[in-house]
Structure 1
Amino acid sequence: MLNDVMVAQYLERIGYRGSTSLELSTLRGLHLAHMQYVPFENLDIFLSKPVSLSVDALFDKVVLKYRGGFCYELNTLFFELLTALGFQVHMLSAKVFNGSSYGPDFDHMLLTVAVNDKQVIMDVGFGDSFREPVFLDISHSIQLDSVYDVEQHGLNFILYRRKIGMARSPQYGFTLNTHQVLAFHTMCVFQQTSPKSHFTQKSVCSIATKYGRKTISNGRFIISGKNKRTEYIIGSESEYREILRKNFKIALSEDCCLARLMAK
């Protein structure tokens, strides 16, 4: 549980200075700030540093050390922040769609929050995804170049995304069954260690900007936004370190093996 001092530090970390009242506007502001200040990244996996889902470890990594993380880390810590602020929030399990089929249970963690007699999903750990909460029962949430919809099929829900000018595609499926963080531990270990895991295939560090994203993918630096995309190869470990520092505010220790992060 986050205490008042930790909550203040967390809000400072994500640059949030708005209201903390139990309103939808607060959830919108917090979600957007989190997406723009805390990167989605899996660098520790390639640096052979096991991920811990304890609140103290996550707070130290994300808030005090200005790092990011993947879904289990970021949404667990965001859950703690929202809970400390007084919101009614729950953890949900999702099955990620890989282009042809859905993954297993607990493949992904997202959050649901009840506010003003409405229910929204929140997810600050899915990389290039929605920036503001999406209602469970209202279609066509337009955010930048994408439209998000949640469709219900019996007890199952599917989040869809349609980029302007492109076909709609599912992002993940989920139910409203709630879970404790312990239920995600097995899949969290799998995602870090299995050669079948998407997270062991390439290193990534990505963050939302006002109009797009900045992303390091292995040894490539990609900037997108306003219908523009630039990409170039990072030429050296020192340049990689400088891009991390300048664009993501991440300062890795000098003994980190950056060659693992830059491997093609």
Structure 2
Amino acid sequence: MDIDLFLQRIGLQSLPDSPMKRLRALYAAMTKTVPFENVAVMEGKSISLEPGDIFAKVVEQGRGGYCFELNGLLAHLLEQFGYRIERLIGRVWASGAPAPLLTHMTLRVFVEDRPYLCDVGFGGGTLREPLPWVTGAVAIQGPDRFRLDATDNGETMLSRLVDAEWKNMYSLLPCPVRSQDYIPANHYTSTHPNSHFTQGLVAALVTDSGRVTLRDRLFRTVGAEGETERELTTFDEVVQVLGQEFGLRNLDLAALQSRLSYLFA
């Protein structure tokens, strides 16, 4: 991996020497510059998990991705810096499914033997910084509140405080997995008709005071001044928002317009 080119992509010129400060700097910069998005899926493209392909897409082509791509890229970067990493897989409960499949990738990163949950690929609920792996403790991250809890079946649940109520986001299996173990989950996520990512356009990015999200035609901004929503009325508006708000470029406009035709029928 060309680390200098990656740092340029996420807007960093240098990094702290301290392992913890370096991890925080990389994490924060990545969540604010590399969007969570499924545009390639909506373009009808296959999603490769090969490190070189992810680097080319995210860094060289200025695109984003979802958990397998973004956390996969972060994992390879951190390994080059010498961090000890465990790759994890989990179930997304935020979807409301009664028995979610194993379709989410996160990382457990160790700094001075202390574990942290790192996840730069969970859309509108993405952690703003590495989360200490301590169950039962509430972690304050800017305007957000998160908590890890042990479940009855041995998994670890991440929850987020929303409207004064703790909402389950995803639960993680206790055992680490290997990179190749994500292949079936990635195939399902990017191709199956029941997958959230094949049913409509999604994009999300962390900001200093909140988040920006796009779901099909609904563009939403959450910040210090409150929330705003705007419904996009044309395909050109969608492309404009993807470029201006999420920094996406090199889009296959013909394929994307064809796949999104249902939005403006």
Question: Do they superpose with TM above 0.5?
Answer: yes
Residues 237 and 259 in structure 1, CA contact (< 8 A), matched pair in contact too: no
**Alignment CA distance shift 1:262-1:111 (3 Å):** farther
Partner Cα distance (1:116, 1:258) in 2: 48
Q: CA RMSD in A?
A: 1.9
Say whether 1:195 aligns with 2:193.
yes
**Alignment CA distance shift 1:263-1:217 (3 Å):** farther
Structure 1 unaligned runs (5+)?
A: none
| Superimposed CA distance per residue, residues 44-81 of structure 1 (whole angstroms, 9 cap, x where no aligned partner) | 11111110111111011000111000111111111011
CA deviation after TM superposition for structure 1 residue 82, in Å: 0.6
Residues 22 and 87 in structure 1, CA contact (< 8 A), matched pair in contact too: no
Partner Cα distance (1:149, 1:102) in 2: 21
CA deviation after TM superposition for structure 1 residue 254, in Å: 4.3
CA deviation after TM superposition for structure 1 residue 102, in Å: 4.2
Say whether 1:26 aligns with 2:25.
no
Structure 1 residue corresponding to 2:112, chosen from 103, 110, 116: 116
Partner Cα distance (1:62, 1:32) in 2: 16
**Alignment CA distance shift 1:33-1:261 (3 Å):** farther
Q: TM-score by structure 1 length?
A: 0.91
SS at match of 2:165: coil
Q: TM-score by structure 2 length?
A: 0.90
Question: How high is the sequence identity, in percent, across the aligned residues?
Answer: 29
Partner Cα distance (2:237, 2:253) in 1: 14
Aligned match of 1:161:
160
CA deviation after TM superposition for structure 1 residue 259, in Å: 4.7
CA deviation after TM superposition for structure 1 residue 104, in Å: 2.1
Partner Cα distance (2:213, 2:159) in 1: 23
**Matched length:** 258
Residues 219 and 263 in structure 1, CA contact (< 8 A), matched pair in contact too: no
| Superimposed CA distance per residue, residues 119-173 of structure 1 (whole angstroms, 9 cap, x where no aligned partner) | 001001111221101111261111133211111247421111113x421121111
**Alignment CA distance shift 1:166-1:18 (3 Å):** farther
SS at match of 2:164: coil
Partner Cα distance (2:243, 2:111) in 1: 37
Structure 2 residue corresponding to 1:238, chosen from 233, 236, 253: 236
SS at match of 1:168: strand
Greater alpha carbon shift after TM alignment, 14-23 vs 183-192: 14-23
State the AA in 2 paired with 1:177: C
Structure 2 unaligned runs (5+)?
A: none
State the AA in 2 paired with 1:32: A
**Alignment CA distance shift 1:196-1:254 (3 Å):** closer
State the AA in 1 paired with 2:244: K
CA deviation after TM superposition for structure 1 residue 118, in Å: 0.9
SS at match of 2:85: strand
SS at match of 2:161: strand
Partner Cα distance (1:56, 1:245) in 2: 24
**Alignment CA distance shift 1:42-1:182 (3 Å):** same
CA deviation after TM superposition for structure 1 residue 219, in Å: 1.8
Structure 2 residue corresponding to 1:17, chosen from 8, 13, 24: 13
